[in-house]
Structure 1
C-alpha cells in the first residue's frame, strides 16, 4: 500500500513538474517572440521616419519648391517652414513618421535624437524659404547629417546593435 502511494505521489509530482517546465518554456518562447516582433516594428518605423526625412529634405532642395517661413511662436529666433500643396505631403509624411517613431521607441535618447533630426530638417527648409537651394548655408546641412547620425546610433543602441563610426 505504501509503495503504491509513493509511486502515485512521484508520478503526480512528475506531472506537475513537467507541466510547470512546459509552461515556463512556452512563456520564455512567447517573450522572445514578442521582443523580436517589437524590435522589427521599431526598425521598420524608424526606417520609414528616416526615409520621410530624406524625402522632405529632397523636396526642400528641389528648385521648384515653394516654401515660406514665419517666426516660431514659442521659440524666438527660429523660423517655421510652410509648404504649398506640392510640398504638403512631404511635411505630413515627416510628421507622421516622427509621431510613429515617438510611439514605438523605448528610450528617451532615441526620441531626443529624433527631435533634433526633425528640427535640423526644418532649419534647412526655413533657410530654403529665403534662399535658393544652392545658397543654403553648409552649416545647416552639417547639423542635419550629424543629427541623422545621432538618430541612427540611438536607434541602433535601442535595437542592441553597436554604434556606427562617425563619418569623416
Structure 2
C-alpha cells in the first residue's frame, strides 16, 4: 500500500503543478491581452484627439476672413469641389490629411473609418464653399451637415473606444 500511496501522492502533486502552471500561463496571457487592448485604446484615443484637433484647426482657418482658398471640380467625384489653400493654409491641410490617415490606420471598425471620411468630406465642403463666399455667407446647410458628421464621428469613436454614449447636442 505504501507504493500505491506514494504513486497517488506523486500523481496528485504532478497534476497540481501542471494545473498551477497552466493557470499561471492563462492568467499571464489574459493580463497581456488586457494590457495590449489598453495600449491600443490609448493609441486610438490619442489619434482621434489629434484628428479632431487638426479638423478644428482646418475649420478655423477656413472661417478666417483673411484666408485665401480656391476650389476646382473634383476630377473623380462629379458635383464635388476640391478646395486648395495658399502657403499659409497648406500646413492645416497637410496636418489634417496626415492624422486622417493615422485614424484610418488605427481604427478597429469600418464604421469609424467611414465616419472619419464623412467628417473630412464635410469640412472640405465648407472650405470649398468658403472659396466662393465670405465666411459669414457660407450656407447654413453646410454647417448643419458638418455638425451632423462631427456628432456621428464622436458617437462612432466612443463606441469603438468602449465609452458609453454621450448626449448628442448641436456642435459648433
- TM-score tier, shorter chain, comes to over 0.9
Q: For structure 2, which runs of at least 5 residues remain unmatched after alignment?
A: none
Q: Post-superposition shift, 1:112?
A: 1.0
Question: How many residue pairs align between the two structures?
Answer: 168
> Is the aligned partner of 1:18 residue 2:17?
no
| CA offset digits 1:5-35 (Å, max 9, x no partner) | 2211111111111100000011111111111
1:127 aligns to what?
A: 129
Please report the TM-score for the alignment, with normalisation by the length of structure 1: 0.96
Give the one of 52, 55, 62 matched to 1:53. Answer: 55
2:105 aligns to what?
A: 103
More deviation in 62-71 or 1-10? 1-10
Please report the TM-score for the alignment, with normalisation by the length of structure 2: 0.94
1:41 aligns to what?
A: 43
Distance 2:130 2:5 in 1: 89
Distance 1:91 1:166 in 2: 28
3-state secondary structure, aligned to 1:69: strand
RMSD, aligned CA? 1.0
Give the one of 4, 7, 24 matched to 1:5. Answer: 7
> Is the aligned partner of 1:80 residue 2:94?
no
3-state secondary structure, aligned to 1:122: helix
Q: Post-superposition shift, 1:162?
A: 2.4
Distance 2:127 2:58 in 1: 9
1:68 aligns to what?
A: 70
Q: For structure 1, which runs of at least 5 residues remain unmatched after alignment?
A: none
Distance 1:35 1:75 in 2: 38
Q: Post-superposition shift, 1:142?
A: 1.0
Distance 1:163 1:8 in 2: 55
Task: Show structure 1 runs of 4+ deviating over 3 A.
Answer: none
